[in-house]
């Protein structure tokens, strides 16, 4: 938690991370996430380049939280890579990030916004997300070991 005198004030939510912030966000996701552990930096940077990136800055510490949105900016969005630096959790930053995503002008009139979570359902439920109404209609190709295969080959452009 932030220091007692500092409280939970002074954070700024913004869109568009600079390169140092992207490197910090990559460290969190590659080293501490359960969904994209080991993601190579070039993959993360390409994903970021083609996504809407939201961050939270602390006045003294810089970037302390991130969220990524994959979207066509008209009908659909996928909210992912939500991560708050452990020292800044419990201040409502994840909730503020979700609100900022939902208020983005390109994301307010979508037919569907999706996300997947292991254990943070109540966080997202506070912002209108509900379990899939018809999970039987959904299918996926999931390759969690993609980055670990020796044959992994990636065009970073």
Ligand X SMILES: CC(C)(COP(=O)(O)OP(=O)(O)OC[C@H]1O[C@@H](n2cnc3c(N)ncnc32)[C@H](O)[C@@H]1OP(=O)(O)O)[C@@H](O)C(=O)NCCC(=O)NCCS
Say if residues 61 and 113 touch (Cβ distance below 8 Å).
Answer: no
CA atoms of 25 and 19, how far apart (whole Å): 10
CA atoms of 14 and 75, how far apart (whole Å): 23
Question: From the list 36, 52, 82, 107, which residue makes contact with ligand X (rule: CB under 6 A)?
Answer: 82
What are the CB-based long-range contacts (under 8 Å, 24+) for 108-114? 109/74, 110/71, 110/74, 110/75, 110/76, 110/77, 111/75, 111/76, 112/75, 112/76, 112/77, 113/76, 113/77, 113/78, 113/79, 114/76, 114/77, 114/78, 114/79
CA atoms of 25 and 115, how far apart (whole Å): 19
Residue 97: CB minimum distance to ligand X, A = 8
- Of the ranges 19-27, 90-98, 129-137, 144-152, which one interacts with ligand X (CB under 6 A)? 90-98
Contact set for ligand X, span 111-130 (CB under 6 A): 117, 119-120, 122-123
- Of the ranges 42-50, 76-84, 100-108, 134-142, which one interacts with ligand X (CB under 6 A)? 76-84
Task: Please say which residue, 4 or 119, places its beta carbon nearer to ligand X.
Answer: 119
**Number of residues binding to ligand X, judged by CB under 6 A:** 16
Query: Is residue 90 part of the contact set for ligand X (CB under 6 A)?
Result: yes
Query: Is residue 95 part of the contact set for ligand X (CB under 6 A)?
Result: yes
Task: Please say which residue, 74 or 103, places its beta carbon nearer to ligand X.
Answer: 103
Task: Please say which residue, 144 or 153, places its beta carbon nearer to ligand X.
Answer: 144
Binding-residue pattern over the window 4 to 43 for ligand X, x denoting contact by CB under 6 A:
-----------------------------x----------
Tell me which residues touch ligand X (CB under 6 A).
33, 82-84, 89-95, 117, 119-120, 122-123
């Amino acid at each position: 938690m932030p220091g007692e005198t500092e409280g939970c004030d002074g954070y700024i939510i913004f869109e568009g991370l600079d390169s140092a912030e992207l490197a910090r966000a990559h460290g969190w996701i590659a080293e501490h996430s359960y969904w994209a552990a080991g993601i190579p930096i070039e993959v993360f940077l390409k994903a970021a380049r083609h996504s809407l990136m939201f961050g939270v800055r602390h006045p003294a510490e810089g970037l302390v939280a991130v969220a990524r949105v994959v979207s066509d900016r008209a009908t659909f969005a996928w909210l992912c890579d939500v991560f708050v630096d452990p020292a800044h959790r419990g201040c409502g930053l994840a909730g503020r990030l979700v609100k900022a995503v939902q208020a983005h002008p390109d994301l307010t009139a979508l037919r569907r916004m999706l996300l997947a979570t292991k254990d943070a359902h109540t966080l997202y439920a506070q912002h209108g997300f509900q379990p899939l109404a018809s999970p039987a209609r959904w299918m996926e190709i999931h390759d969690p070991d993609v980055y670990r295969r020796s044959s992994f080959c990636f065009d970073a452009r």
